[in-house]
Every structure is written in structure tokens, then in C-alpha cells.
């Protein structure tokens, strides 16, 4: 497994890290197997979050078997003020049963008021700096989906890493990552598979590895097979071949730009519509030519897209500014035409 320095943090991380979001779907035993396999394959960076339900707990338990000393542990919290961030750090330490956390990130800073709060006199940053001075956390980072916000945030010297989406169909972070690298920050690619929309997993990771912008990509993994497959890309030092470039371009064309990354930030819909699933199932019809399969999945949803009352609460929360109401209408038409 290739390694890279995570900016100026001094951490030498595997170029493929383990994203902890999907691990919440499996059992503790399976999570432990996944982390043991990650260790076998040379993966030494795990990124999780308090928002990923039981993920921190699974990881903490698994580390007892896999050895805490074999990993750099990164987590994050959507706390933007001093008190809640102080409590969040304590909670993560307790949940994962750790004496220290290698990287603690402010999670999903997506609005100006969240950023202002983070940097205010009684903001989250103050709690992070204090925790670092006490040795409870080793490094401080920031994550988000809105480039303009993070561009401002990385001007603050306290941040040592930045985490942002990056994959063959989401290059909006290019300038951000370039700037971060220039400042000596570590760069972490989240959503390396465009939130599951990009299906050529190894190709996407190879593209990211060869971009020259990313220290570590963190695909979410919920099986041992995925660990083996993803890790194999980290062992490969070859650039993309001509054939792979063509395949990549074909995929990019199929996907287009106006797609849902399944981040779930639009949830909950007050009417109970599972918005990302509607778009995912529509994608089976429109992108992958699986109309019956897509429709059967959609039919199984308890609340259909027709229940939308156009309150637009979801649109205000979508970090990609997707016109969700219009897209739901489109999905209704797609399924109605099968
Ligand atoms: S606009 Fe429709 S989908 Fe969005 S939150 Fe309101 S009811 Fe739900
Ligand atoms: S509609 Fe927007 S907020 Fe909702 S899951 Fe898709 S990308 Fe995320």
C-alpha cells in the first residue's frame, strides 16, 4: 500500500483510507473483520463521524483486536460552538474508548453562520485548540460540501486538513485542494464514488490517486471484499491507461452533473419521502437501463414522490442546490412511463 504524508501533520497515511459511514450497516463482528482486513492490506487511516450512528462504537471495539497503534483515527462532529464541541470531543473519546484522537474535524460546515460560530470567541475552534493543547486530539481539520465556505475556512491556520468531495464527476474541489496543498494542509477526498452514483469503483480511485491533489481517499466500506478491492488500487502506481481514460469519459457522460450524491442532508422530508432513494431508483432506469428493477424498488418505497407538497424544505438543505421538487416530478414521470 502506497503511503503519503497528510500535509504537514507528520502522519504518513495509506493513500486509501477506510471511510466509516457504511460500516454502520453491518454487525460488530463484520465491522471487526473489515478493520482487521484493512490492517492486513496496509490501510492505516480510518475516518468516521458522530453522525454515522454506531460507526464510532464499532470502530472503537474493533481497534481492541486490530490494535489502536496500527491506525490513525479521524472523526468529526457537527458542533459549531465551544460547549457542544468540547462535549463532542469527550463523547468520541468515550465512544471509541481512546486516550486521544489523531484528527478531529468540524463536520460539514455548509452555512456562513456555522462558520462564523466556529471562529467566534466561544466557537468550536476554541474547544478544538484546547483539546489539542491537552493532547486529547492531535490535529484539527474541517469538512464540507460548499467550496466557497471551505475556501474561507482554510485561511485559518489552526486547520491542518481539509475534507471535500472529489471524484471523476465532482471536480469542484480542485482549486480548494490546490490552495490547501500550497498551505501545507492534508487533503482528504470524501465521496470518491460520488455517493454511490459512480459505479466503476477502482477506476474512480485510480483517477483520484493520479490527480496529484489528494493525500488520502476514503471510500466507505461495508465488506471485506470491498477492502480487498479498494486496497488493490492503493498498491498500484501505474497511471490511467488510454482504455481506462475512455471508460472514465463514457461513465462521466452517462452520469452528467445534475445528480444526487445521496448525502442525505435533505432529510427528513416532513411527508416521509426518501428523496435520495427516489433518485437512486430513477438512476437504475435512466442511467443503467434497468427499468423493471428500478420501478420495483420505487414501488416498494412506503411514500412515493407524488406525496411532495412542494414545501421546499429539502432544497434549502441540499448542499448541491439540486432542484429537488422538479427532479421528483421528473422521477414520477419516469416511473409513470414504464
Ligand atoms: S419539497 Fe417535497 S420532498 Fe422536499 S421536503 Fe417538502 S414535501 Fe418533502
Ligand atoms: S437531494 Fe441533495 S441533499 Fe438530498 S441526498 Fe441528494 S445531494 Fe444530498
CATH class, domain 3-240, is alpha beta
Please tell me the predicted confidence (pLDDT) of residue 160. Answer: 98
Q: Which residue's alpha carbon is nearest to atom 3 within ligand 1?
A: 308
Q: Compute the CA torsion angle 44, 49, 52, 57 (nearest 10 deg).
A: 70
- Residue 162, pLDDT score: 98
Residue 322: CB within 6 Å of ligand 1?
no
CA torsion angle for 104, 53, 226, 193 (degrees, to 10)?
A: -70
Backbone angles phi, psi at 94, to 5 degrees: -70, -45
Closest ligand to Cα 309: 1
End-to-end CA distance of the chain: 46
- pLDDT, tens digit only, all 338 positions of the chain: 999 999 999 999 999 999 998 888 799 999 999 999 999 999 999 999 998 889 999 999 999 999 999 999 999 999 999 999 999 999 999 999 999 999 999 998 978 899 999 999 999 999 999 999 999 999 999 999 888 889 999 999 999 999 998 998 888 899 999 999 999 999 999 989 886 777 788 999 999 999 999 999 999 898 999 999 999 999 887 889 999 999 988 888 877 667 887 777 898 999 999 998 899 889 878 876 788 888 998 999 999 999 999 999 999 999 888 999 999 999 999 999 88
Instruction: Give yes or no for residue 194 CB within 6 A of ligand 2.
Output: no
Task: Collect all residues with Cβ–Cβ distance below 8 Å to 145 and sequence separation of at least 6.
Answer: 108, 110, 164, 165, 263, 265, 319, 320
Residues 6+ apart with CB under 8 A from 161: 6, 7, 9, 74, 103, 105, 139, 140, 141, 142, 185, 186, 187, 188
Helix, strand, or coil (residue 233): helix
Q: Is any ligand 1 atom within 6 A of the Cβ of residue 127? A: no
Q: What secondary structure letter does DSSP report for 241?
A: P
Nearest CA-CA partner of 297 in 321, 278, 318: 278
Are the C-beta atoms of 103 and 72 separated by less than 8 Å? yes
Classified as helix, coil or strand, 212 is: coil
The kind and range of the H/E element at 14 are strand 12-14
Sequence ranges of the domains in the chain: 3-240, 275-336
**93 CB near ligand 1 (under 6 Å):** no
> Tell me, what DSSP letter sits at residue 121?
T
Nearest CA to ligand 2 atom 6: 260
- Among 194, 169, 165, smallest CA distance to 177 is for 165
Amino acid at each position: 500500500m502506497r503511503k503519503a504524508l497528510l500535509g504537514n501533520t507528520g502522519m504518513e497515511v495509506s493513500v486509501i483510507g477506510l471511510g466509516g459511514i457504511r460500516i454502520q450497516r453491518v454487525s460488530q463482528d463484520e465491522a471487526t473483520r473489515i478493520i482487521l482486513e484493512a490492517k492486513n492490506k496496509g490501510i492505516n487511516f480510518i475516518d468516521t463521524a458522530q453522525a454515522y450512528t454506531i460507526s464510532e462504537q464499532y470502530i472503537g471495539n474493533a481497534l481492541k483486536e486490530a490494535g489502536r497503534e496500527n491506525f490513525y483515527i479521524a472523526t468529526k462532529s457537527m458542533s459549531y460552538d465551544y460547549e457542544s464541541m468540547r462535549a463532542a470531543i469527550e463523547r468520541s473519546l468515550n465512544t471509541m474508548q481512546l486516550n486521544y484522537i489523531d484528527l478531529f474535524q468540524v463536520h460539514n460546515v455548509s452555512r456562513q453562520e456555522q462558520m462564523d460560530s466556529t471562529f467566534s470567541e466561544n466557537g468550536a475552534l476554541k474547544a478544538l485548540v484546547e483539546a489539542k493543547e491537552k493532547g486529547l486530539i492531535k490535529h484539527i481539520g474541517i469538512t464540507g460540501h460548499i467550496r466557497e465556505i471551505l475556501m474561507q475556512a482554510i485561511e485559518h491556520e489552526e486547520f491542518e486538513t481539509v475534507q471535500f468531495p472529489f471524484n471523476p464527476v465532482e471536480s469542484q474541489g480542485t482549486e480548494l485542494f490546490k490552495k490547501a496543498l500550497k498551505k501545507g494542509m492534508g487533503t482528504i477526498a470524501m465521496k470518491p464514488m460520488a455517493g454511490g452514483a459512480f459505479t466503476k469503483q477502482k477506476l474512480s480511485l485510480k483517477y483520484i490517486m493520479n490527480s496529484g491533489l489528494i493525500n488520502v481517499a476514503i471510500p466507505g466500506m461495508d465488506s471485506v471484499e470491498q477492502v480487498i478491492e479498494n486496497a488493490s488500487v492503493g498498491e498500484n502506481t501505474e497511471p490511467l491507461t488510454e482504455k481506462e481514460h475512455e471508460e472514465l469519459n463514457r461513465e462521466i457522460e452517462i452520469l452528467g452533473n445534475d445528480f444526487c450524491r445521496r448525502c442525505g442532508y435533505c432529510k427528513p422530508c416532513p411527508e416521509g419521502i426518501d428523496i435520495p432513494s427516489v433518485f437512486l431508483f430513477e438512476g437504475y432506469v435512466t442511467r443503467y437501463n434497468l427499468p423493471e428493477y428500478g420501478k420495483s424498488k420505487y414501488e416498494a418505497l412506503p411514500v412515493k414522490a407524488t406525496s411532495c407538497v412542494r414545501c421546499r424544505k429539502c432544497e434549502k438543505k441540499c448542499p448541491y442546490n439540486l432542484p429537488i421538487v422538479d427532479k421528483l416530478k421528473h422521477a414520477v414521470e419516469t416511473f409513470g412511463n414504464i
